[in-house]
Amino acid sequence: MITFPNAKINLGLRITEKRSDGYHNLETIFYPVALEDALEIQEHAEPDSNISKVDLHISGMKVEGSPEDNLVVKAYRLLDEHFQLPPIKIFLHKHIPSGAGLGGGSSDAASMLKLLNNYYSLCLSDNQLEAYASKLGADCAFFIRNTPTFAEGIGNIFSPVDLSLKGYQILLIQPDVFVSTREAFSQIRPCRPTCSLKELIKFPIDEWKDYIVNDFEASVFPQHPTIGQIKEELYRNGAIYASMSGSGSSVFGLFTPDKPLPDFSFDSKTFCYKGLLTQ
> Is the separation of the CB atoms in 250 and 102 below 8 Å?
yes
In angstroms, the CA 200 to CA 207 distance is: 9
DSSP H or E segment with residue 255: strand 251-255
Does the annotation mark 139 as catalytic? yes
H/E/C letters for each residue in 3-58?
ECCEEEEEEEEEEEEECCCCCEEEEEEEEEEEEECEEEEEECCCCCCCCCCEEEEE
Does the annotation mark 231 as catalytic? no
- Of 8, 94, 114, 231, the catalytic one is 8
> Is the separation of the CB atoms in 35 and 93 below 8 Å?
no
Strand arrangement of the beta sheet that strand 241-244 belongs to: 241-244, 251-255, 169-174, 271-276
In angstroms, the CA 245 to CA 271 distance is: 14
- Of 37, 108, 114, 139, the catalytic one is 139
Radius of gyration for the chain, computed over Cα atoms and rounded to the nearest angstrom: 19
The residues that are catalytic are 8, 139
